[in-house]
A and B are shown apart, each in its own frame.
Chain A
């Protein structure tokens, strides 16, 4: 029964990684990172239930969520600054301008 959860986790990881690699928009890269974080959260809760140590697993999930939010806020700030410089959110345009 619980291995269905494992299947969901693997699917979430695959969706997240696939999206991360094939998207061209900077904001969608952040959305893909969020999907991956959801997969990780579900993994931690599953592990907590299976080993019976729900308390440790919940504190890990809470710490993970807080740190992810801070990283996301800094990433949003960087994206807004990139937009102010180039008026574009395209990943390829930014890399090409470097040369």
Chain B
């Protein structure tokens, strides 16, 4: 069963290229859409199956080197959803470009599904590289100078991160003689109190390398350029899943399985997480371009996921993965809206956009939902995940971190309310009289995401009740 996630997109690529003709090119879009829907259904069914035995963290499905458990199923579901959204947006581009874009999306899906399911540090590196190479090509596809610049910077930082991750893998291999997660976990647990100097060096290299790949502060330099200077659909993919399912999921999985009892790594990551939250929120305030502001806000939200995971308790991990899914939905919604605005008005800077709410009603409404969810307002989904993370921090004892996280959330709320009022509900300037509502692809994508945000928010108290029965609260 887990190999199906990797095999189906691969068969898709092979078929699309072997039967290469004009008719197949037209069908390519529908075929890739079908693949993402298949992934959605498979992952959704796995979530239902895993939900009944939630607290036995035994892997549910196990093939030779791939395994899926509840958290992996949540991430697979997110991957399918965001790929679907990215495809819906590109519906009106021309045929050649859609063909290339569809195939690259299939490759990225293979890479991310692989990262999520492996049980081995070296295979993690291989699938991270698959995702990275496909991302370089996707960003540089536009072939304008800024996009090439962003892609090259991403390539450079990703290669440095690869060197550091592999050095850490080499040192760990030398000390323990094994590469799989489970065996490394048991050996590190046995030696958790007295770590030799070489293992500490390996951990430092690993933390640095994974932080570069995930875009955490202070290694976030490539993130704003790469997100804001690519195509809209590519920005949605990047911000929604590529950095998350690649770097962040790797960190979370390693924290869960390989390093659960080592205090050094949890403290370091918690510190990096808090700095990321604060720096991302502050830097987002100073940006003028819409997409760059969203990029910095993404960096800030990723900090919440890392802090949630550093608690080490099941509640913390639940909050982290829930915020993973929520962030993917509301950040993608914001990127969809910014792409819609850009496609109708051609403007990227925030200070020139005023009062579009009257003309673009659907965009205004859905972006209001997304902003409120980012800031953590009940009853939307963002509120629940942030509350769970803050409670988990409180329970473990990281009290100053919890207070700082809360304050940053209030800061985000203030800024986004000001922004929403200005861009959508202010006074409309005359040059926007000709602006119509965005075309069908954008409308359907934003409606789907907004409905998911609201539904998860409203339905979540039932899940909390279920957890209370199981004794987690």
Interface residues of A (CB under 8 A from B): 20, 26, 29, 33, 36-37, 40, 43-44, 47, 50-51, 53, 56-57, 60, 63-64, 67, 70-71, 74-75, 77-79, 81-82, 85-86, 94-95, 97-98
B152 & A79 in contact (Cβ 8 Å cutoff): yes
A-B residue pairs in contact (CB < 8 Å), sample of 16: A20-B160, A33-B156, A40-B166, A44-B166, A47-B170, A51-B173, A51-B174, A53-B173, A70-B133, A71-B133, A77-B140, A78-B151, A79-B152, A81-B143, A82-B145, A94-B149
Residues of B within 8 A of A51 (CB): 173-174, 177
B163 & A36 in contact (Cβ 8 Å cutoff): yes
Say yes or no: A98-B166 contact (C-beta < 8 A), given A47-B173, A53-B177, A70-B133.
no
B136 & A74 in contact (Cβ 8 Å cutoff): yes
Residue of A nearest to B171 (CB): A47
Residues of A within 8 A of B132 (CB): 71
B362 interfacial contact with A, CB 8 Å: no
Say yes or no: A82-B129 contact (C-beta < 8 A), given A33-B159, A51-B174, A98-B146.
no
Say yes or no: A71-B129 contact (C-beta < 8 A), given A29-B156, A33-B159, A40-B167.
yes
Q: Is the interface of A mostly helix, strand, loop or mixed?
A: helix
B170 & A40 in contact (Cβ 8 Å cutoff): yes
B174 & A85 in contact (Cβ 8 Å cutoff): no
Say yes or no: A50-B174 contact (C-beta < 8 A), given A67-B126, A78-B152, A85-B145.
yes
Residue of B nearest to A91 (CB): B152
Residues of A within 8 A of B353 (CB): none
B145 & A97 in contact (Cβ 8 Å cutoff): yes
A44 to B174, CA, bound (A): 9
Say yes or no: A71-B140 contact (C-beta < 8 A), given A56-B179, A78-B152.
no
Instruction: Report the count of interface residues on B (CB-CB < 8 A).
Output: 29
Name B155's contact: one of A74, A81, A94 (CB within 8 Å).
A74
A46 to B169, CA, bound (A): 13
A51 to B173, CA, bound (A): 8
Residues of A within 8 A of B179 (CB): 56
Residue of B nearest to A79 (CB): B152
A30 to B171, CA, bound (A): 25
B174 & A47 in contact (Cβ 8 Å cutoff): yes
Residues of A within 8 A of B136 (CB): 71, 74-75, 78
Residues of B within 8 A of A71 (CB): 129, 132-133, 136, 155, 159
Residues of B within 8 A of A81 (CB): 140, 143, 148
Say yes or no: A85-B148 contact (C-beta < 8 A), given A33-B159, A51-B173, A51-B174.
yes
Q: Report the minimum CB–CB distance from A78 to chain B (whole Å).
A: 5
Residue of A nearest to B150 (CB): A98
Residues of B within 8 A of A79 (CB): 152
Q: Report the minimum CB–CB distance from B202 to chain A (whole Å).
A: 11
A27 to B74, CA, bound (A): 41
Name B167's contact: one of A26, A43, A74, A94 (CB within 8 Å).
A43
Residue of B nearest to A74 (CB): B136
Residues of B within 8 A of A63 (CB): 122, 126
Residue of A nearest to B159 (CB): A33
B407 interfacial contact with A, CB 8 Å: no
Residue of A nearest to B169 (CB): A60
Q: Report the minimum CB–CB distance from A54 to chain B (whole Å).
A: 12
Residues of A within 8 A of B177 (CB): 51, 53
Residues of B within 8 A of A50 (CB): 174
B145 & A86 in contact (Cβ 8 Å cutoff): yes
A33 to B157, CA, bound (A): 11
Residue of B nearest to A29 (CB): B156
Residue of B nearest to A16 (CB): B163
A95 & B174 in contact (Cβ 8 Å cutoff): no
Residue of B nearest to A45 (CB): B170
Residues of A within 8 A of B145 (CB): 82, 85-86, 94, 97
Q: Report the minimum CB–CB distance from A72 to chain B (whole Å).
A: 9
B459 interfacial contact with A, CB 8 Å: no
A67 & B163 in contact (Cβ 8 Å cutoff): no
A75 & B170 in contact (Cβ 8 Å cutoff): no
**Residues of B168-187 contacting chain A, CB below 8 A:** 170-171, 173-174, 177, 179
| Leading 7 A-B pairs by shortest Cβ distance | A47-B174, A85-B145, A67-B129, A43-B170, A47-B170, A82-B148, A36-B163
Residues of A within 8 A of B137 (CB): 74
